[in-house]
Amino acid sequence: MTPAPTRPGVQGPTVADVGEFGLIAAITAGLAPTASVPVTVGDDCAVLAPTGRLAVSTDSMVEDVHFRRQWSSARDVGRKAVASAMADVVAMGARPLALVVAVVLPPDLPAAWAQELGVGIRQEADLCGAVLAGGDTAGGEKIVVAVTVFGDLEGRTPILRSGARPGQVVAYIGNLGMAEAGLTVLRRGFRSPAAVVNAHRVPAPPYDQGIVAAEAGATAMIDCSDGLVADLRHLAEASGVVIAIETENLAVAEPQQTVAAAIGRADPLDFVLRGGDDHALLATFEPGRVPAGWTVIGGVAAADGDPGVLVDGAPFTATEGWKHF
């Protein structure tokens, strides 16, 4: 690592000063091989040794599309990138095992920002029990964090989106619409209520509940990333069923009510029905087999016509969920 020149207007060395190898060394310091990741960073590949089949997903976050540096710290961005990707592994009923990260970093970005990003990545990996197994850095104009995550199915059958059947119940665990309420206040220049702003910055997927649901016999499961109704629709379409939910089963949290009142939004339930990025788990079960802590919000019915979602008995037609582009 070369000595870092001080530049006008920049606090400390930049990514260009520290260089690719210096950054990787800083972010991966202290990583050691484990039984399930016997070869880690430093070779052409990492080697994974799962006990069963492997669930794999990839997800990326782009500066000014998925996060803004003035709203989220580097550590928040690292944690969110891992959490939002690993939620997909959890939704298969797999145990978080490992991850690899490809980052694009502007050369003039403070190196400290990149290092804090790495701290956030490792912090969230620790929280869900996964090992950072490799990565790649490249230069570019905007920050991109692309995370690929691995989960060990440990002999369990993966829980797909397509297994919901009429007569089953639909339930969730985790937050709904909290991140969306947080983003709403950040967009208006506010920084509170803390509960919703923090939910936007770092989601809290229920990491241990995917396996719990699988062991309880969940018939279908999905990570709620696009929004409650949007993701239930994905599940309904994959299963060829209608999912009917009742809003009386959905609680609006106090800070969501506060935000809705402050911005003159007619119905705070909108956050809950449409807000994405919280990474709750949605799953279907045979009646009476719903695990403790999950909230039943409705049921599965046969599709007479098109599969879809009914909210309080009516089709939910308003624009749903987050779409890129």
Positions that interact with a copy of itself (CB under 8 A): 15-16, 19-20, 38-39, 42-50, 53-62, 65-66, 88-89, 91-92, 94, 98, 100-102, 104-105, 107, 133-142, 144, 146, 148, 150-151, 153, 158, 160-162, 221-223, 238, 323-325
DSSP-assigned letters across all residues of 234-299: HHHHHHTEEEEE-GGG-PPPHHHHHHHHHHT-S-THHHHHH--SS-EEEEEE-TT-PPTT-EEEEE
Write down the least CB distance from residue 174 to a copy of itself, Å.
Answer: 14
Tell me the closest approach of the beta carbon of residue 162 to a copy of itself, in angstroms: 8
Task: For tokens 């069963």, name the residue.
Answer: 52
Task: Report the residue number, 102 or 301, with the smaller CB distance to a copy of itself.
Answer: 102
* 187 burial level (CB within 10 Å; 0-12, 13-18, 19+): exposed
Rounded least distance, CB 316 to a copy of itself, Å: 18
Q: 43 vs 304, which CB is nearer to a copy of itself?
A: 43
What residue type is assigned to position 103 of the chain? Answer: V
In the bound complex, what is the minimum distance in angstroms from residue 288's beta carbon to a copy of itself?
25
Comparing CB distances to a copy of itself, the nearer of 100 and 196 is 100
- SS3 category, 75: helix
- Whole-number minimum distance, CB 222 to a copy of itself, in Å? 6
- Between 16 and 195, CB nearer to a copy of itself: 16
Q: Which is nearer to a copy of itself, 101 or 272 (CB)?
A: 101
CB of 148 to a copy of itself, least distance (A): 4
Partners of 145 in beta bridges: 61, 103
Q: Which is nearer to a copy of itself, 233 or 260 (CB)?
A: 233
What does the alpha-carbon distance between residue 296 and residue 250 come to, in Å, rounded to a whole number?
A: 9
User: Closer CB to a copy of itself, residue 140 or residue 315?
Assistant: 140
Judged on CB neighbours under 10 Å (0-12, 13-18, 19+), 217 is middle
CB of 127 to a copy of itself, least distance (A): 19
Rounded CA gap, 102 and 76, in Å?
17
What minimum distance in Å lies between the beta carbon of 300 and a copy of itself? 18
**Least gap, CB of 237 to a copy of itself (angstroms):** 10
Distance CA(238)–CA(165), nearest Å, equals: 11
User: Which residue type, as a one-letter code, is found at position 118?
Assistant: G
Nearest CB to a copy of itself, comparing residues 42 and 293: 42
> Which has the closest alpha carbon to 284: 270, 294, 273?
294
Determine the length of the chain.
Answer: 325
Q: Which of 40, 41, 125, 25 is nearest to 75 (CA)?
A: 125
Distance CA 58, CA 60 (A): 7
Nearest to a copy of itself of 51, 249 (CB atom) = 51
Say which amino acid occupies 80.
K
Instruction: Report whether 179 contacts 196 (CB < 8 A).
Output: yes
